[in-house]
Amino acid sequence: MQLTGNTIFITGGGSRIGRELARRFNDLGSADRSRAQNGPAAISTFSQQVVKQHPELNVLINNAGIMRYEDLSKARDLHDAEAQITTNLLGPIRLTNALINHLTTRANPVVVNVSSGLAFVPRSDAGTYGASKAAIHSYTLSLREQLKGQVKLIEITPPAA
Q: 13 in helix, strand or coil?
A: coil
Tell me the backbone φ, ψ of residue 110, rounded to 5 degrees. Answer: -140, 140
Q: Is 69 a catalytic residue?
A: no
Burial (CB < 10 A; 0-12, 13-18, 19+), residue 157, is middle
- Distance between CA atoms of 86 and 78, rounded to whole angstroms? 12
- Residue tagged active-site, from 9, 25, 129, 139: 129
Q: CB-side exposure of 69: number of CA atoms within 13 Å?
A: 2
Nearest of 103, 97, 83, 140 to residue 6 by alpha carbon: 103
Annotated active-site positions, please?
Answer: 129
